[in-house]
Amino acid sequence: MAVTETANYTPLTEQTAVELAAQLDFFPKGAALSSREIGDGNLNYVFHITDETGKGLIIKQALPYAKVVGESWPLTLKRAKIEANALKKHGEYVPHLVPEVYATDEALAYTVMEDLSHLTVARAGLIAGETYPKLSDDIGEYLAQTLFHTSDFGLHPFDKKRLAAEFSNPELCKITEDLIFTDPFFNNETNDFEEALTADAEAIWNNKALQLEAAKLKQSFLTEAEALLHGDLHTGSIFASKDETKVIDPEFAFYGPIGFDVGLFLANLVFQSITRGEEGRDVITDHIRNTWDVFSSRFSELWEQENQSAFKDTTGYRETVLEKIFRDSVGFAGAELIRRTIGLAHVSDLDGIEDDEERIARKRQALRTGEAFILKRAELTSIDDVLSLIGALR
């Protein structure tokens, strides 16, 4: 019999997750542990284990298929190891912004990590009207530190190439290549949209200029191994409170274009800018501007302090690199806006709007904004240009 990657795998239950937690040197001997499966993502089980004092940990286990679709969509278990290694690697640069990893098991595809249950998933909090004053400072810092330090600007070329090989993640990349960069631009069966948006979706499928730009973005995603990305940095991958931010779930991590992480986060803030009333919108506008400002200024500082390149001080080089990252970020944000509206795996920012007319109007706005981001990205030279465009498309 062929040995498959699931040969020694068995899904955990709330009971077996407790047994596993009890074997770790974490809880006091004999503690009465309780367990609850709290996963609300598309792909994995997440068990929250606590003792009587409230001390807790998280056990996250990959399933051999995509939970969002079902067993008909097999998915590699190797993503658990990728995720744990990415948390550890990114944790070298921003330990305060990622959960600590306590233990891993490759065969059972689980990671035991720090309990973040005192925090809220940022998407849910933002939808409920939270402002998270530290969010853009922290994510700007996370992006600059993780992306600079894993790029050719921060690493010896041997180390960078070794890391890029370690984080080869073809199966998860294929999901992104299909769901973000291909399917929404064609009449593909994975697409998922409301009937009222049929004409809007068809207009996208018939927009040749948009398809050409989507093809360029996809090529960039496929070929530009610039830095170790998180790979799925939407607001559902971030836990937050008023004074803390933690980035979770880097199972899509791989070496890709720096603008992909920046753009995905910005797009998910744009969903909030689109769906909030005027009174709550300014704080999101500030977060969008501040994310880029913090990212670009921290990246520039790291460049000055740590870049070993012979061209480091060549006039215009740093600016050229940042301009490319900016343009890419806007384009990738556009693809994310379109995908989460008419493709597979939506966002509750839009789907959660109860009023039909309002929901469809906001979804159309997301599509318009996404298209404009992709088509006009070369003309947009500052984050204020981007914010003006978002405002003009209201």
Cβ atoms of residues 375 and 335 within 8 Å? no
Nearer to ligand SR1, 72 or 315 (CB): 72
Per CB under 6 A, contacts with ligand SR1 among 149-178 are 175-176
Count of CB atoms situated within 10 Å of the CB of 18: 18
Ligand-binding annotation for 362, yes or no, is: no
Tokens of 156: 């010896």
Tokens of 131: 């402002």
Nearer to ligand SR1, 68 or 209 (CB): 68
Nearer to ligand SR1, 226 or 336 (CB): 336
What's the closest the beta carbon of residue 178 comes to ligand SR1, in angstroms? 9
Nearer to ligand SR1, 16 or 42 (CB): 42
Give me the count of residues in the chain: 394
Rounded CA gap, 334 and 210, in Å?
11
179: partner contacted, choices ligand SR1, Mg ion, none (Cβ within 5-8 A by kind): ligand SR1
83 near Mg ion, judged by CB under 5 A:
no
What's the closest the beta carbon of residue 164 comes to ligand SR1, in angstroms? 21
The maximal CA–CA distance of the chain, rounded, in angstroms, is 65
Spell out the residues 6+ positions from residue 312 whose beta carbon is closer than 8 angstroms to its own. 303, 318
Ligand-binding annotation for 232, yes or no, is: yes
Rounded CA gap, 31 and 203, in Å?
60
Ligand-binding annotation for 249, yes or no, is: yes
322 near ligand SR1, judged by CB under 6 A:
no
SS3 of residue 306 by DSSP = helix
62 near ligand SR1, judged by CB under 6 A:
no
Nearer to Mg ion, 249 or 371 (CB): 249
Ligand-binding annotation for 60, yes or no, is: yes
Among 16, 22, 31, 42, interactor with ligand SR1 by CB under 6 A? 42
What's the closest the beta carbon of residue 34 comes to ligand SR1, in angstroms? 28
SS3 of residue 161 by DSSP = helix
Amino acid at 274: I
Nearer to ligand SR1, 232 or 349 (CB): 232
R_g (Cα) of the chain, nearest Å: 21
- Distance (Å) of CA 341 to CA 48, 139, 351, 379: 31, 24, 9, 24
Among 173, 179, 227, 383, interactor with ligand SR1 by CB under 6 A? 179
List phi, psi (to 5°) of 239. Answer: -100, 140
One character per residue 8-47, x = contact with Mg ion (rule: CB under 5 A): ---------------------------------x------
Q: What are the helix (H) ranges across the chain?
A: 14-23, 78-91, 122-127, 135-149, 157-166, 170-179, 198-205, 208-223, 258-275, 278-306, 317-342, 348-351, 356-376, 383-392
Tokens of 3: 């040995």
One character per residue 234-273, x = contact with Mg ion (rule: CB under 5 A): ---------------x------------------------
What's the closest the beta carbon of residue 66 comes to ligand SR1, in angstroms? 4
Cβ atoms of residues 151 and 89 within 8 Å? no
183: partner contacted, choices Mg ion, ligand SR1, none (Cβ within 5-8 A by kind): none
Cβ atoms of residues 176 and 66 within 8 Å? no
One character per residue 188-227, x = contact with ligand SR1 (rule: CB under 6 A): ----------------------------------------
One character per residue 68-87, x = contact with ligand SR1 (rule: CB under 6 A): x-------------------
List phi, psi (to 5°) of 369. Answer: -65, -45
What's the closest the beta carbon of residue 386 comes to ligand SR1, in angstroms? 22
Q: Which residues bind Mg ion (CB under 5 A)?
A: 41, 249
Q: Which residues bind ligand SR1 (CB under 6 A)?
A: 42-43, 66, 68, 175-176, 179, 232, 345
